[in-house]
Structure 1
Amino acid sequence: MTAMTPGSNLPLTAARVAVDVTAPVRLDVSGLLLAADGKVRSDADFVFYNQPAGPGVTHSAAPAGGDTITVDTAAVPDGIEKIVVTASLDAAGATFAGTEPTATVRNADDGSALASFTPPRLGSETALVVVEIYRRAGAWKVRAVGQGYANGLAGIATDFGVTVDEPAAPSAATPQAPPAPPAPAAPPAPPVAPAAAAPGTGTGTGTGTGTGTGTGKVNLDKGRVSLQKNQTVSLVKGGRPLLGSVRMGLGWEPAFRGKNIDLDASVIAYGPDRKKIDNCFFGKLMILGGAVQHSGDNLTGEGAGDDEAITVHLGGLPPEVTGLVFVVNSFSGQKFSDVAKAYCRLVDARTGEELVRFDLTHAEPRTGVMMAKLIRQFSGEWEMTAMGEFVDARTVRGMVKPGGQAL
């Protein structure tokens, strides 16, 4: 087996090769089929855990842990010049500093190792192009790359033409230090024209738990609030707006035993004109200078507790952000009629106290749902409204327009 260095290349002696990418931490490994212009022809050329097969390329679990991208060179379409194998970190805010992912290139038929490559001197990168399998003069070769990106999978996707984000942030091939999450700040100045708040429909009742049941608007003074669809809670406690860090946890379970459900939770940030400013999802784990952070992707929905979580530093949000819409999508096309016990809950990120909960009590055979929205008021406090509105959209990109209309 040959140990490769950055930029080195070797001819492939097998028609079917497997690239195992392993590391001490969990990685998301992808394969992108690129044409002569260096771009994918369509999103079908992006092969990863949620879309595990493309023309001549497949994704699977590696025998020794990690992920494997297998390339059948005889089945790769003539218009494809190379397949790049990428790796991004699953943990929010994590970098490759101190982590050395290794790519092992094997003969996919007999398992014999052909080459290995460990990118050296990694630091603030959050995603890498590890190796590429490319066509040259009718023959196939492998090249060690090790190019780093500081903006995760979104940077790679943008460079190679994948439209999973709209618009994605410019890629950064030169390593850059990721921004530190801002500390909670004083209430920002009220925006000039914030999005209109949804009318409230409840007042706190009971002891320890408030439930929207009448006129007016419930706040957090009586403890945890349980919302029903279209009800609103003001994030105010003891007469003071909540402006610290909160975590929106989203969870679900398969409706039928033994059937995995892979859903993706995201949040879309809007300005006062209801236009999207940015969105945070499994391919872009941090936005708005670290004020919003995603926990990473959950592939099955199994187990107790939140399946995915999005942390929002309310006091650190830019003043131009007046609305946040939290959504869940089924990229693989499974319908929400196959989902049970879907919910969202707002938690104080510092204490872990659950503040607000919304349980989705009905489902529709569609691929997207808007779970909840947070809207900034003129006075600076935030209000949360339960939504539970279903749409036909498999990615966060398809939720931008209905989310804006719902503000």
Structure 2
Amino acid sequence: MTPGSNIPLSAARVTVDVAAPVRLDVSGLLLTADGKVRSDDDFIFYNQPTGPGVTYRSGGGTAPDAITVDTTAVPPGIEKIVVTASPDAAGQTFQGIEPTATLRDADGGAVLATFTPPRLGTETALVVVEIYLRGGQWKARAVGQGYADGLAGIATDFGVTVEEPAAPPAPAVQAPAPPTAPPQPAAPVTAPPAPAAPPAAAPAPGAGKVNLDKGRVSLQKNQTVSLVKGGRPLLSQVKMGLGWEPAFRGADIDLDASVIAYGPQRNHLDSCYFGKLTILNGAVKHSGDNLTGEGAGDDEVIVVDLGRIPQEVTGLVFTVNSFSGQKFTEVAKAYCRLMDAATGEELVRFDLTHAEAQTGVMMAKLVRQFSGEWEMTAMGDFVKARTVRNMVKPAAQAL
């Protein structure tokens, strides 16, 4: 096919995969007659792989990602499904990496058409093809329209809500660069004490999205910070330090810090804790158990290599439990803080300001946005749970 050409579909269910010499993120958007999505639920991608009549399939890095459209299941009012693609690597354009879209019969596998957009250069995202309804007939059209502001730019253009970093407005929608950057060298799992400099003021309730451009951020319960600095997602090693002190002099308090990893359907993937110090192929590592809570600095530290977190992981919930049954009313000065693992610089801090007579607390969560950036939200939610296993369900519900 050539740009602008179209063919009638000879199959009710079709699959579009987009291949290139590098890994691509492929997505689909369901559009109404005005060219917009009805809601963010109409954006189908790796974090939201299913929608009405449209599904996403990951190639896992060894095969192309694909979008399947079942035209018999597309809801009334949807007149077009656009298939998009963007390079997985941060800042990479389509210069020299021509993608090819292949349209297939989803059931029989027969190739119906192929399309390679010509003359690509600085584009970081493309609308590759569209499946559209015209005169009661479903058709496919080759598009090849490029965007310079990534997949988030495409999504915004079609009405999907995109949280933007604080930056001066520009003629085109500004969005964070796509995910994945080379990981930073590993740093020892030894957390320094909090720097003497006072933290930046906490964002006011109801304020816009806060990022890291103005330095260290101090969060209150339920507040969120986007891990973006200078307009780009922070994709390097970070450390989540968790600390506490006994509320009563001379008492020991044995708490266990953990992190639970979830997929796009809030499905539990793995848990990292004192009994399993490494998960996700080494992308998440635990410092080991602290049995007393005594001493300055962080009691337990979890190192997270954001650049190596697998794409199927979309949420991380950091928890603290009292296996021995001590309640959090016996704990003082509990906190969590996110640091740059390479420099030790504190980026975000959350101090727990109240306690409940429970044995578990969800301290914070990191959630991957479709634009590739991660967001950290302070939680401070108490539950009855003495082990990380008992935290899996409430933490999933809190994502």
TM-score relative to the length of structure 1: 0.53
Distance 1:171 1:113 in 2: 41
Distance 2:166 2:67 in 1: 25
Aligned-pair CA distance for 1:95: 1.0
Q: Which amino acid aligns with 1:8?
A: S
Report the RMSD for the aligned CA atoms in angstroms: 4.5
Q: For 1:44-123, what aligned pairs fall within 5 Å after superposition? A: 44-61=41-58, 65-123=63-121
Q: Which of 335, 338, 342 lines up with 1:372 in the alignment?
A: 338
Q: Residue 93 of structure 1: SS of its match in structure 2? A: coil
Q: Residue 37 of structure 1: SS of its match in structure 2? A: coil
Distance 1:293 1:394 in 2: 13
Q: Is 2:165 aligned against 1:232?
A: no
Q: Which of 206, 226, 230 lines up with 1:288 in the alignment?
A: 230
Query: Deviations 1:86-112 (Å, cap 9, x if unpaired)?
Result: 111111121110001100111112111
Contact 2:123 2:148 in 1 (8 A): yes
Q: For 1:246-261, what aligned pairs fall within 5 Å after superposition? A: none
Contact 1:104 1:113 in 2 (8 A): yes
Q: Is 2:23 aligned against 1:26?
A: yes
Distance 1:226 1:90, change over 3 A: same
Distance 1:100 1:141, change over 3 A: same
Distance 1:399 1:173, change over 3 A: closer
Aligned-pair CA distance for 1:364: 5.9
Distance 1:102 1:225 in 2: 44
Query: Deviations 1:186-241 (Å, cap 9, x if unpaired)?
Result: xxxxxxxxxxxxxxxxxxxxxxxxxxxxxxxxxxxxx957128xx42579xxxxxx
Distance 1:268 1:370 in 2: 18
Distance 1:12 1:62, change over 3 A: farther
Distance 1:47 1:94 in 2: 22
Aligned-pair CA distance for 1:332: 3.4
Distance 1:121 1:143 in 2: 18
Tell me whether 161-170 or 129-138 shows the greater mean CA deviation.
161-170
Aligned-pair CA distance for 1:41: 1.6
Q: What residue ranges of structure 2 are gaps of 5+ in the alignment? A: 178-186, 198-209, 239-260, 278-283, 288-297, 304-317, 322-334, 352-361, 380-399
Q: Residue 84 of structure 1: SS of its match in structure 2? A: strand
Distance 1:32 1:358, change over 3 A: farther
Distance 1:339 1:278, change over 3 A: closer
Q: Which amino acid aligns with 2:194?
A: T
Q: What residue ranges of structure 1 are gaps of 5+ in the alignment? A: 179-222, 236-266, 282-286, 296-307, 311-327, 346-355, 375-380
Contact 2:165 2:211 in 1 (8 A): no
Q: Is 2:4 aligned against 1:38?
A: no
Distance 2:166 2:26 in 1: 19
- Runs of 4+ in structure 1 over 6 Å off: 167-174, 272-278
Q: Which amino acid aligns with 2:6?
A: N
Aligned-pair CA distance for 1:49: 2.0
Residue in 2 aligned with 1:145? 143
Distance 2:91 2:23 in 1: 13
Distance 1:54 1:83, change over 3 A: same
Contact 1:107 1:114 in 2 (8 A): yes
Q: Residue 363 of structure 1: SS of its match in structure 2? A: strand
Contact 1:129 1:148 in 2 (8 A): yes
Contact 1:232 1:385 in 2 (8 A): no
Aligned-pair CA distance for 1:274: 8.1
Distance 1:364 1:34, change over 3 A: farther
Contact 2:147 2:153 in 1 (8 A): yes
Distance 1:334 1:234, change over 3 A: farther
Q: Which of 322, 332, 338 lines up with 2:265 in the alignment?
A: 332
Aligned-pair CA distance for 1:269: 2.3
Distance 1:69 1:391 in 2: 33
Distance 2:11 2:76 in 1: 18
Distance 1:400 1:10 in 2: 46
Distance 1:75 1:338, change over 3 A: same
Contact 1:233 1:385 in 2 (8 A): no
Q: Is 2:102 aligned against 1:136?
A: no
Distance 2:138 2:41 in 1: 22
Q: How many residues align?
A: 266
Contact 1:44 1:54 in 2 (8 A): yes
Q: Residue 76 of structure 2: SS of its match in structure 1? A: coil
Q: Is 2:292 aligned against 1:359?
A: no
Distance 1:126 1:60 in 2: 21
Tell me whether 10-19 or 383-392 shows the greater mean CA deviation.
383-392
Contact 2:86 2:124 in 1 (8 A): yes
Contact 1:119 1:146 in 2 (8 A): yes
Distance 1:114 1:125 in 2: 27
Q: Residue 227 of structure 1: SS of its match in structure 2? A: coil
Query: Deviations 1:138-197 (Å, cap 9, x if unpaired)?
Result: 1111111111111111111211222252469879779xxx9xxxxxxxxxxxxxxxxxxx
Sequence identity (%)? 51
Residue in 2 aligned with 1:348? none
Contact 2:226 2:375 in 1 (8 A): no
Distance 1:113 1:163 in 2: 34
Aligned-pair CA distance for 1:50: 2.4
Aligned-pair CA distance for 1:338: 3.6
Contact 1:85 1:132 in 2 (8 A): yes
Distance 1:166 1:135, change over 3 A: same
Distance 1:24 1:5, change over 3 A: same
Distance 1:330 1:92 in 2: 22
